Amino acid sequence: MTVEVLLSCMNCKNDAEVMALVKRTNIKGKAVVINQCSYDNIVHVDNIKIVHTTERGLSRSRNMAIHHATGDICLICDDDEILDNDYEEKIISGYHQFPNADLIAFEIKRDDKKPYANNAIKIGFKQILKTSSVQITFKQASAKLNNIVFDTMLGSGSGNGAGEENKFMLDFRKHHLKLFYIPTQIGHLIPDTASQWFNGYNITYFKNHGWSTRRILGPWLSLIYITYFILTKYSLYKSQISMIKAYNMEIKGWRTIK
């Protein structure tokens, strides 16, 4: 069983810069690196496949990485992440623990002290909405056989807000595939890294959140979740925007989806 890291990055000038990022990320084995830049080219350096591309968008980058992947297990990775030395062994051990798993989310240490479950669990709807992309590993064959990819209308660079990883996992669930969470840390995020898409709880944020929530959850369930989100996350945004204004922007975004 082989683990292959799918790493997305932007504006690396050449292969040397990409390989410096690979080293910093602590990638030990196979990887596909998608570098969104000003030219198109494919290069192999040992076990690393570097795809330089002029395409844009995080979801497009991840879909391109899935297309080029050949490993048994794929690990989604961002350029602000450092993997543990034994991440491969931990991931392989997880799939031995749950041999019928199609997707397993692991723990990534974050500076926001995001809480994780203490026990291995089967991932349900609620857990899907709380999972970050960098936690996700999946069987390459399961994704390709079921034509599951990231929604290019969501994610950094789309202009429509985040949530692409949640829709990706929901698509696994819709195909009746098996999803699990294991409380084993496989890496950590570099503290204080600037977000590519989050610029505060402003009008654009809530409009995009309403749009993306409907795209992910559908028309009626999304309305329930939007209301829940506005009420329960008030402490996060109250200093920047009123609850009524935030809700109105969510609904405005919800209405504009086609």
Tens of pLDDT, residue by residue over 117-154, are 789 999 998 899 889 899 999 999 999 999 999 998 88
> Is 70 exceeded by the pLDDT of residue 221?
yes
- Going by pLDDT thresholds of 50, 70 and 90, the confidence category of residue 257 is low
> Is 80 exceeded by the pLDDT of residue 55?
yes
Spatial separation of the C-alpha atoms in residues 189 and 204, rounded to whole Å: 26
In DSSP terms, which residues pair with 83 in a beta bridge? Answer: 187
Residues 6+ away with beta carbon under 8 Å from 61:
8, 34, 36, 53, 55
For the residues 83-90, what does the mean pLDDT come to? 96
In DSSP terms, which residues pair with 43 in a beta bridge? Answer: 50
Number of H helices, E strands in the chain: 10, 10
What pLDDT score does 67 carry? 95
Q: What is the pTM of this model?
A: 0.89
SS3 content of the chain, % helix, strand, coil (to 5): 40, 20, 35
| Poorest-pLDDT segment among 25-29, 127-131, 155-159, 200-204 | 155-159
Share of the chain above pLDDT 90, in %: 75
Beta pairing class for 103-109 and 179-189? parallel
Spatial separation of the C-alpha atoms in residues 169 and 161, rounded to whole Å: 17
Q: 191 burial class (0-12, 13-18, 19+ CB within 10 angstroms)?
A: exposed
Q: What is the DSSP letter of 194?
A: P
For the residues 75-81, what does the mean pLDDT come to? 93
Tens of pLDDT, residue by residue over 95-119, are 999 999 999 999 998 876 566 778 9
**Smallest Cα–Cα separation from 130: which of 108, 152, 100, 101?**
108
What pLDDT score does 110 carry? 80
What pLDDT score does 200 carry? 84
Q: What is the DSSP letter of 200?
A: -
Question: Structural domains in the chain?
Answer: 3-189 (3.90.550.10), 203-256 (no CATH)
What pLDDT score does 195 carry? 58
Spatial separation of the C-alpha atoms in residues 24 and 5, rounded to whole Å: 14
Helix, strand or coil, per DSSP, at residue 116: coil
Spatial separation of the C-alpha atoms in residues 138 and 44, rounded to whole Å: 23
Contact in structure between 98 and 181 (CB atoms under 8 Å): no
Amino acid at 166: N
- 74 or 161: whose pLDDT is higher? 74
Spatial separation of the C-alpha atoms in residues 31 and 71, rounded to whole Å: 9
Instruction: Dig out the tokens for 186 from the structure.
Output: 């496989």
What pLDDT score does 14 carry? 94
Distance from CA of residue 39 to its chain's centroid? 25
Share of the chain above pLDDT 70, in %: 93
Residues 6+ away with beta carbon under 8 Å from 45:
15, 19
